[in-house]
Structure 1
């Protein structure tokens, strides 16, 4: 197993000889980082022991596996709702593969091989694999069209299915060394190369991810045609005729990010998950092909999203109708959509942007999403989920776009299976390298094994993050080695609520961050958000960083109309909310305290720090028809942990003061 993991780490960390260029900054592979963290390790373990097995079980019980069996038999009727339901099996295999790379599991390995065999039998002789048509080609799914790919731009999801298969097959091959799934994927990819491209069939895929999957296959095989096809699909965007003056995003092409060629786009638009996958693939191709036009476009789009189209907890895709971005500053709380898959896609994109630019602002945003709007999507039990992530839930008012309680699964269950595939790879986001520069991006207890210019270096992180800001790094090179350690100083520790400034901290000024080496304070330069420490490192060197763990009031740009006159609360990387369970059943009637006191509650919600203080509640006496304001202790919990104790009110934003009262009648 050790030899296998070493091989996996090298495959991830090093470009194949066929590649001429790659990201300037490379992540340290997750198999080289042993997680010991009390916040994240239980989540990764729960994903392995609960989420992934539950996902496989639901793929069986809902008919997703049966669809493949019927496709192999060429008889039956497609028995689930959506033509992309095949991908739930692919994504769960991907998650299982990553998980088994660090947690060997013979039972899971055997089951995955069984599933792969079922998938392989469903593949048609020329490589086509799409159960919604293969089961009964004369009567395919309504979204699929009478022939292959004729409705790919709209709703067939044929290439979307291929993309997730490519991602999963590469993960399985790299984790296990087996080619059983990879060979299926390569047969399908070769069919796509034969079918699409200059002088052949052209299409802008309706739901992007085939582009990311093709890039992944290129990295594994070195076959240039896969990379070229990924770029071809992206460059097909903007060629269809739309009514560009229409405000309907389907009519003007924005829903599919297809309103104009990608190199001319400047705004995050359309279906938020599709957008994240598109921008991630553009980042991959920008670096692999040296495409500066792609790079300029995603830089512009990132700036638009972070300054005008993101929620305070990192959620994106405000509009339920189309699961999409709204107009600039259109960020309503009552109907916020914030799909979990969009949060995961946002992490993928920001990791790539960091690798392109080496700037901590991308990791700052990644961290905001990760600790808030992403893990809020999975319950603490590991088998209940949110598809959307609400910003408020109010008594007596149901918002059709929101789930107010978590669900075991969904008819469209993209989010649970996306979570299953993301979490096992989390340790791969902690460190990165660029030659002799070692980046520390995320703060989690772990032991990492790196190689800096042929010299082995072990880094041991120890902290109680995100609850406390004291960080410790034991640097242990096999021999004295000179290199540059770049420790991210989070934006929130520099008085920055979120990159881009759409949200900002009220009052206060940035405290200097104290860094010690071997117990002695050191001066350092702050470059692109990183404290830069360049020295010859010796065995048993210790770096200590003290981040100011203050509680901040967060305000929004005045152009975010829904947040005018309101305040949100952040401590460290965590956004907080009030939930009914801690506040006598109501949260929509609260005025926040002037001062919060953090309180450790090990027995609550798997262990959290809550914020408590003396605020006020607005009470209505229905009999006497009187409204009064009374003192009340207010308790806030981390946003990610809400909706694990039943259904009830929740608020992220609160009025700074009472200026009016809205009268509601039942």
Structure 2
């Protein structure tokens, strides 16, 4: 394994000499964290055995691979729908590379080399790589324009494709030591840097990610031009003269592309949610590497805006279907919530970077909320069915309130399935982080981690049954007695904070506190930036126990969110819960959760691959057979983790439930009436 990684380590070391500054905190690489976790390891295995193979098969069957073959032959007709379809291959390659790092697979490795050879042959001599043009330059994709780059600010996605190529190339190089894909990426990046920059062509990329990709190439090679070009792209925003600032149309004023003003002047999240969060991630990377404090201040304000005014209770963002974008402050409707899966993934990328900039647990709190709820809800338990959007509410009563509650194996625009394929195997890299003598425990995932403190190897074994149980165990095994700080995140939800803002809160505060024991003895500890600081000289076999209170909490929203007034949602640990038709007499839109309702929890190993469910006796509204009388009756109510819904067929789902009925709206419908809170 060490021999395989030697080329990367040498280049990374060379690159580090060129870096004057960087994140003060770095994640412990996923290759140094070996999982045996009951929750995450099966998902990673399913990704390896089901998701990645299915993704490659679908790239073959839909013509995505054929596009590269035709580009190499300079003959044919682009045979898929979107000019960014190339990225589905790049993203799956990235995920497969991560998987190879942990699970060597000669057959998969050979298949990747075959694909990479096709990509190489499709690349033009100067490095340009974009099958939607190269197949037939005289008749490029309608979104691309007759010349290279002329529609990059809006529709062409030429640089978006490049960004995903760079990220895949770095992952593949790190995993295998092979330079075949990296060489393709560097050739393309050299072209991009020769075309764009001060005194050359300027553009604010219409769909960001090239900025993040260029930074990764810089980290591998130490070539400053890659970092400089990433910064140049970010600073090009707000310079176009043809946008109308007074026009409320986000495409006409530039806000859809985050291009209506300089990034230094942006204070709230706007436009397409995935593009925006990729931009903010790229800004964090560039700011960390250049020491640009003004850029950091800008993304700090935007983060406050998202978490304080534009995030759903299960960690999703991007409320507005029209443009897959952020809405106005507090514009968080449940019936039409969009919540693209890619936006959840982008949110994890961004929040990890914010943590590495500032070292505050609130960023990991948001990351965890998104990860366990709005992100993995995007993939079915089978590993091959997906949600592009993640609904907040499905009812049978009124057609205008219902988004389709059925997962799909693939989409014409399949960015979300392939994004999941690349994200899931990288999950172990989010568990721990390090800053000198400080070792951060960010996520509670069972497994063994290898770190070095002052050149001394330390093994950390984490054992738990999270997220179902709050009892966490850590065994510290330094090769020699070693002094360092173990910083264990105390989740906000364990400290009466539903989210690090006033957007959501728990209805009643808990008196239970997090208990920490060291070698069986209750330990006094200080909390710094949300982390319990355990400072000692650690000896082999030292054991830390952390006991988190796993109470069932009722969540209420700020009154600024009009759709959630007088409603409650349910949370236990990091998980948000929902009611689904399957467990509740065929429907859930008639359920009321009074303030006095009391819930119990129980683990059901046979349900949905094993979940803890919540149960209570609550009122349910009934309509008489003749449709004249409305009454309530007591009913057993079961809630399941939100991420697990829509794995048992099509039917109703609710997250927010009214506490009482103040009004019944009589509306024409083939279905029964639904009680609604009178706002």
TM-score by length of 2: 0.97
Task: Tell me the residue number matched to 1:636.
Answer: 639
Contact 2:14 2:222 in 1 (8 A): no
1:7: how far off?
7.0
Change (3 A) 1:391 1:259: same
Quick check: 1:120 aligned with 2:120? yes
Contact 1:592 1:634 in 2 (8 A): no
Task: Tell me the residue number matched to 2:193.
Answer: 193
Quick check: 1:204 aligned with 2:207? no
Task: Tell me the residue number matched to 2:525.
Answer: 524
- CA distance in 2 between counterparts of 1:375 and 1:82 reads 25
Change (3 A) 1:507 1:61: same
Change (3 A) 1:276 1:617: same
Change (3 A) 1:567 1:12: farther
- CA distance in 2 between counterparts of 1:12 and 1:588 reads 55
Task: Tell me the residue number matched to 1:458.
Answer: 459
Contact 1:317 1:342 in 2 (8 A): yes
- CA distance in 2 between counterparts of 1:115 and 1:443 reads 36
Counterpart secondary structure, 2:651: coil
Note the 1:403-414 alignment, pairs <5 A.
403-414=404-415
1:599: how far off?
1.1
Contact 1:320 1:401 in 2 (8 A): no
Cα distance per residue 1:418-453 (max 9 Å; x no partner): 000001110000000100000000001010011011
Contact 1:15 1:22 in 2 (8 A): no
Contact 1:579 1:637 in 2 (8 A): yes
Cα distance per residue 1:133-172 (max 9 Å; x no partner): 0001111111000100000011000000000000001110
Note the 1:48-447 alignment, pairs <5 A.
48-241=48-241, 242-399=243-400, 402-447=403-448
Counterpart secondary structure, 1:16: helix
Change (3 A) 1:246 1:76: same
Contact 1:13 1:27 in 2 (8 A): no
Counterpart secondary structure, 1:534: strand
Counterpart secondary structure, 2:104: coil
> After alignment, is 304-313 or 236-245 more displaced?
236-245
Cα distance per residue 1:388-407 (max 9 Å; x no partner): 00000001434588331000
Segments of 5+ residues of structure 1 without an aligned counterpart are none
**Which residue of 583, 598, 602 maps to 1:595?**
598
**Which residue of 651, 654, 662 maps to 1:651?**
654
Counterpart secondary structure, 2:247: coil
Task: Tell me the residue number matched to 1:515.
Answer: 516
Change (3 A) 1:429 1:624: closer
Segments of 5+ residues of structure 2 without an aligned counterpart are 670-679
Task: Tell me the residue number matched to 2:621.
Answer: 618
Contact 1:506 1:552 in 2 (8 A): yes
Quick check: 1:486 aligned with 2:503? no
**Which residue of 601, 604, 607 maps to 1:604?**
607
- CA distance in 2 between counterparts of 1:15 and 1:222 reads 3
Counterpart secondary structure, 1:590: coil
1:499: how far off?
1.3
- CA distance in 2 between counterparts of 1:160 and 1:15 reads 24
- CA distance in 2 between counterparts of 1:522 and 1:412 reads 52
Change (3 A) 1:10 1:266: farther
Change (3 A) 1:350 1:12: farther
Change (3 A) 1:530 1:10: farther
Note the 1:32-47 alignment, pairs <5 A.
32-47=32-47
> After alignment, is 498-507 or 14-23 more displaced?
14-23
Counterpart secondary structure, 1:591: coil
Contact 1:493 1:510 in 2 (8 A): no
RMSD across aligned C-alpha pairs, in angstroms? 1.4
- CA distance in 2 between counterparts of 1:139 and 1:151 reads 15
